[in-house]
Amino acid sequence: MTDNKKLKRGDMQQLIVRILTILALAMPAVPAAAQNLFRPVAEVNERVVTAWELDQRTRMLELFGNPADPRAEALEALIDERLQLQEADRLGITATEEEIVAGEEEFAQRAELSREEFIQRLGQAGVAAETFRDFVRAGVLWRMVVRETLAPQSNVAPADVQQSLTEARGPQTTVRALLSEIIMPADTPQRAAMAQQIADEVSGISTFDGFAAAARQYSASQSRERSGRIDWLPLSNLPPQLAQQLLTLEPGDVTQPIQLPNALAIFQLRALEETNTAIPRAEALDYAVYLIPGGRSAEALEQAARLRAEVQTCDDLYEVARTRPEGALARETRALSEIPADVALELARLDAGEISTRLTTPDGQALRFAMLCERIFDADAEITAEQVQRGLLNQQTAGRSEARMAELRANAHIVTE
């Protein structure tokens, strides 16, 4: 009896081994590359960042603004976001679905796209909708943390308000820049990759002649006929992301690439000049964009030329658009920071009543007839103590936010590859 039981038990073990072997052979093999997608590349207080997340965020950063080292910046951002989410969890702060969707819509509007169109463009570039959602969700939650826990701690002394008020009302000067530009199409993944490769090459140029030659060879802008050179522009007219870069450059230096809708732009500083003629910074721009079907076709450009001769003010465009479908004419008043970068760059070159026909819609199907109606500013407006106090409070809160992040990093257990 004992021998029979042993034999049966051995048979059963062999049967189990055979079944497991058959099941293992029947299962599809998982490629090593696919397995590696989900390997941890960082650990933040026992929460991991996977290789897939890092790859996705790297692609997204390249599309958004092309940092010098997108992979390193992506990893740092993901680590920070893990800490921000953990802090929100600790404080019991949550974001609703509506708040996250609103954040996605706000971000997409910067590229003049709907949320759905923006997510579709990301998908075409290999970025999952979940990656964009996680990015926005972390930002929404951190703003809530700052608003609920840090902003109430800010306090400004009356003496600080008075000192800043005195400085703000003092003499002012104007800084203007002399630039050259290279603007390259990036409306397909292939063109975007080519534009990035060219931008990497151009970023190493330090001579005016070298940049001029590159502009003639690569730029799709009308300024290529002038070797990329454009006239003096006040920094106050330029999009903030470009103006801030220019203040850190020396003549001959080249900016980091600036992402535009369906294009990549790079600028060389030829000269920076400070004048004693004060030009107040516009609070907002009143501008109109009229869409002409056909992109940059000969027919569309001919229609734009006729229209340029007919209209004298933005109000004249209402009559032109009267018989066109709704949406053919858009007139808006926006702060400079809220205007899409490509439109803002065009408006920076214009005086009130002037027109640009250099742009198309992101899909290239319509020519954008852009007209600057008015720069809105009040040079004589009295700066109030309340305005100064609000600005100082915002600065304090921003500083507290940076300090909190530094504290979270210092106290965190962070391990990277």
Question: 97-138: per-residue pLDDT in tens?
Answer: 999 998 898 888 766 678 899 899 899 989 999 999 999 999
- Mean per-residue pLDDT, 301-321: 91
- How many DSSP H helices and E strands does the chain contain? 15, 11
Range 174-275 classified under CATH 3.10.50.40: yes
pLDDT class for 276, splitting at 50, 70, 90?
low
Of residues 173, 172, 150, 169, the one with CA closest to residue 385: 169
Q: How, if at all, do strands 47-50 and 40-44 pair?
A: antiparallel
The residues, ordered by sequence, that sit 6+ positions from 64 with a Cβ below 8 Å of its Cβ are 259
**Per-residue pLDDT at 399:** 79
- Would you state the CATH architecture of domain 284-376? Roll (3.10)
* Greatest pairwise CA separation for the chain in angstroms: 110
Q: What is the DSSP string of 55-98?
A: HHHHHHHHHHT--SSHHHHHHHHHHHHHHHHHHHHHHT----HH
State in Å, rounded, how far the first CA of the chain is from the last one.
Answer: 59
- CA pair distance 65, 262, nearest whole angstrom: 12
Q: At the topology level of CATH, where does 33-169+385-417 sit? A: Triger factor/SurA peptide-binding fold (1.10.4030)
Is the pLDDT assigned to residue 6 strictly greater than 60? no
Q: Quick one: what percent of the chain has pLDDT higher than 90?
A: 37
Strand partners, 267: 181
**Per-residue pLDDT at 385:** 66
Is the pLDDT assigned to residue 272 strictly greater than 50? yes
Q: What is the DSSP string of 109-151?
A: HTTT--HHHHHHHHHHTT--HHHHHHHHHHHHHHHHHIIIIIG
- CA pair distance 224, 321, nearest whole angstrom: 32
- CA pair distance 172, 212, nearest whole angstrom: 34
- CA pair distance 203, 184, nearest whole angstrom: 14
Q: For residue range 186-218, what is the model confidence (pLDDT) as tens digits? A: 878 888 889 999 998 998 888 999 999 999 999
Secondary structure element (H or E) that encloses residue 6, with its range: helix 2-26
180 touches 214 (CB < 8 A): no
Q: Quick one: what percent of the chain has pLDDT higher than 70?
A: 81
Least confident of 71-85, 130-144, 154-168, 239-253: 154-168
Mean pLDDT of the residues in the chain: 81
pLDDT class for 9, splitting at 50, 70, 90?
very low
73, exposed or middle or buried, with CB in 10 Å at 0-12, 13-18, 19+? middle
pTM of the full structure: 0.49
Cα distances (Å, whole numbers) of residue 45 to 98, 190, 317 = 29, 39, 58
* CA angle at 212 for the pair 210 and 218, rounded to the nearest 5°: 100
Least confident of 27-36, 212-221, 285-294, 298-307: 27-36
322, exposed or middle or buried, with CB in 10 Å at 0-12, 13-18, 19+? exposed
Residue 355 DSSP SS3 = strand
> What Rg do the C-alpha atoms of the chain give, in angstroms?
28
Of residues 266, 286, 288, the one with CA closest to residue 357: 288
Is the pLDDT assigned to residue 77 strictly greater than 60? yes
